[in-house]
Amino acid sequence: MTSAITKFAHLQIPLKDVADAINNFHDDNIISRGGFGPAYKGQLLWSGKVMKIAARRLDRNLGEGDVEFWTEIIVLSDLQHPNLVSLIGFCDEENEKIIVTMHEAKGSLSQYLNKPSLTWAQRLKISVGVVRALNYLHYDVGHDYGVIHRNINSSMILIGDNYEAKLSGFEISIKQPVKRMDRSSHNM
pLDDT at 8 over 80: yes
Distance between CA atoms of residues 181 and 85, nearest Å: 23
**For residue range 72-103, what is the model confidence (pLDDT) as tens digits?**
999 999 999 999 999 999 999 999 999 999 99
What was the pLDDT predicted at 47? 85
**Mean pLDDT confidence for 96-118:** 94
Q: What is the CATH number of the domain that holds 54?
A: 3.30.200.20
Q: What is the DSSP letter of 118?
A: S
Number of domains in the chain: 2
Residues 71, 113, single domain; the answer is no
Q: Which residues is 43 bridged to in the sheet?
A: 52
Range list of H helices, 99-144: 109-112, 120-139
**For residue range 36-54, what is the model confidence (pLDDT) as tens digits?**
999 999 999 988 999 999 9
Q: Tell me how long the chain is.
A: 188
Domain range for 161 is 109-186
Distance between CA atoms of residues 119 and 156, nearest Å: 20
Using a 10 angstrom Cβ sphere, with 0-12 exposed, 13-18 middle and 19 or more buried, the burial of residue 177 is exposed
Please, what is the average pLDDT of the chain? 90
Distance between CA atoms of residues 163 and 178, nearest Å: 31
Distance between CA atoms of residues 37 and 57, nearest Å: 6
Residues 12, 89, single domain; the answer is yes
Range list of H helices, 25-119: 66-76, 109-112
Residues 86, 145, single domain; the answer is no
